[in-house]
Chains A and B, each alone.
Chain A
């Protein structure tokens, strides 16, 4: 079936440094998402993105977070600067259409450890 690829699968980074998580969504998909899962907690919505713009973001999407997808390349989540509480698994997802009922396809997640 359709696959979403995430790079890197794991990253350890010093607090205060910048990190970029990369997502290669399903090729014909137009809507892109990031979810965050802290160890032992539920996966939570961070942001969705369409047509070059953030459509919706949750309170977890701090000012230090940014997303972009320049010219059809990777959909990225950048955290600058990182904080200890950013340690989590970040899941990227994509869908062909937005709105309720459309199926999201998820990647395997990128495990970020901030030390």
Chain B
């Protein structure tokens, strides 16, 4: 079945700098890709949903890149600020009936 590797597990970022989290998946039939953000004491909040047809996806303060050739999904935080401190999870889906396959998560800490 699908496997998703997410790295790094921890990331310390100076405020204003950029940061990259990368997920590598195995199933070439994966079609939907998600990034979730979990702040302390809160549920997972959807950051972005990406379809396999779109390689570059711009969000507010971040960009999601999908490289289907290398089976990689990345989350690029631009100009990190303290509100970006959270755990970020990628998730991949071929079919919801089988559920999402999640990465292990990346704990991002933004320091001044």
In the complex, what's the smallest C-beta–C-beta distance from B8 to chain A, in angstroms? 15
B15 cross-chain contacts in A, Cβ below 8 A: none
A35-B100, A91-B43, A99-B96 known; 11 other A-B pairs, CB under 8 Å?
Answer: A43-B102, A44-B99, A55-B97, A95-B96, A98-B96, A100-B31, A100-B94, A100-B95, A101-B49, A103-B49, A104-B100
B35-64 to A contact mask, C-beta < 8 Å, 1/0: 010000111111001010000000000000
Number of A-B residue pairs at CB separation under 8 A = 68
Q: Which of A95-111 contact B (CB under 8 A)?
A: 95, 98-109
Closest to A55 in B: B97
The answer to whether A41 touches B104, judged by C-beta atoms less than 8 angstroms apart, is yes
A58 to B1, CA, bound (A): 12
The answer to whether A35 touches B99, judged by C-beta atoms less than 8 angstroms apart, is yes
B74-105 to A contact mask, C-beta < 8 Å, 1/0: 00000000000000010001111111111111
Q: Which of A44-99 contact B (CB under 8 A)?
A: 44-46, 48, 55-56, 58, 91, 95, 98-99
A14-57 to B contact mask, C-beta < 8 Å, 1/0: 00000000000000000101010000011111101000000110
A108 cross-chain contacts in B, Cβ below 8 A: 41-43
Q: How many residues of A contact B (CB 8 A)?
A: 31
A99 cross-chain contacts in B, Cβ below 8 A: 95-97
B36 cross-chain contacts in A, Cβ below 8 A: 106
Give 27 CB contacts A-B under 8 Å.
Answer: A1-B45, A3-B43, A35-B99, A35-B102, A42-B101, A42-B102, A43-B89, A44-B99, A44-B102, A45-B98, A45-B99, A48-B99, A55-B97, A56-B97, A56-B99, A58-B99, A95-B96, A99-B95, A100-B94, A100-B96, A101-B32, A101-B93, A101-B96, A102-B96, A103-B49, A108-B43, A109-B43
In the complex, what's the smallest C-beta–C-beta distance from B88 to chain A, in angstroms? 13
- In this assembly, does A4 line the interface, its C-beta being within 8 Å of a C-beta of chain B? yes
